[in-house]
Amino acid sequence: MEPIPASFPTAFLDRYKRLFEPAFYERIVAGISVERHIWFRLNPLVPGWENAFAELESEGLDLKRHDEWSDAACLPADQKSALVASEPVRSGRVYIQGLASQLPVRMLGPSESDRILDLTAAPGSKTLQLAALAPEGDVAAVEIVRKRKFKLQDNLTQHGADHVKVFLQDGSKVWRYRPEHFDAILLDAPCSSEGRFRFDDEDSYRFWSRAKTKEMVRKQRRLMFSAVHALRPGGSLVYSTCSLAPEENESVVHHTLQQFGDCLEVEPIDLDWPERIPAFSSLGSTEFDQRVEQSCRLLPSDRMEGFFVCKLRKTASSNPPVKSQPDSKHTSRSRTDSGRGRSRRR
CA gap 196, 308 in Å, rounded: 12
Quick one: DSSP state of residue 307? Answer: E
Instruction: Identify which of 227, 274, 218 has the alpha carbon closest to the alpha carbon of residue 248.
Output: 218
Confidence at residue 327, expressed as pLDDT on a 0 to 100 scale:
54
Domain ranges of the chain: 10-36+99-339
- The pLDDT score that the predictor gives to residue 136 is 87
Report field, pTM of the whole predicted structure over 0.85: yes
Q: Is the CB of residue 35 less than 8 Å from the CB of residue 302? A: yes
Say what the pLDDT of residue 1 is. 64
Per DSSP, the residues of 46-58 read: STTGGGHHHHHHH
For residue 253, which of 276, 279, 234, 272 has the smallest C-alpha distance?
A: 279
Q: Which residues contact 102 (CB under 8 A, 6 or more apart)?
A: 39, 41, 69, 72, 129
What's the CATH code, domain 10-36+99-339?
Answer: 3.40.50.150
List, in sequence order, every residue forming a beta bridge with 65; answer none if it has no partner.
Answer: 73
Eight-state DSSP code of residue 278: P
Let me know if 74 is a catalytic residue: no
Report the amino acid identity of residue 5: P
If we measure between CA atoms, which residue out of 36, 8, 14 comes closest to residue 196?
36
Helix (H) or strand (E) holding 340: none
- CA 306/CA 198 separation, integer angstroms: 11
In order along the chain (346 residues), what is the average pLDDT of each group of 10 residues? Answer: 89 97 98 97 98 97 96 97 97 98 97 96 97 94 97 97 96 96 98 97 96 97 98 98 98 97 95 97 97 98 98 96 51 38 35
pLDDT on residue 137: 86
CB under 8 Å to 296, separation ≥6 — which residues?
A: 103, 107, 269, 271, 276, 279, 307, 308, 309, 310
Task: Provide the 10 A C-beta neighbour count for residue 10.
Answer: 9
Rounded Cα distance, 81 and 201, in Å:
18
Pairing of strands 115-118, 138-143: parallel
What is the rounded end-to-end Cα distance, in angstroms, of the chain? 29
What pLDDT does 336 receive? 36
242, 263, 296, 310: which is the annotated catalytic residue?
242
State the pairing for strand pair 276-277/264-267: unpaired
Distance CA 28, CA 18 (A): 13
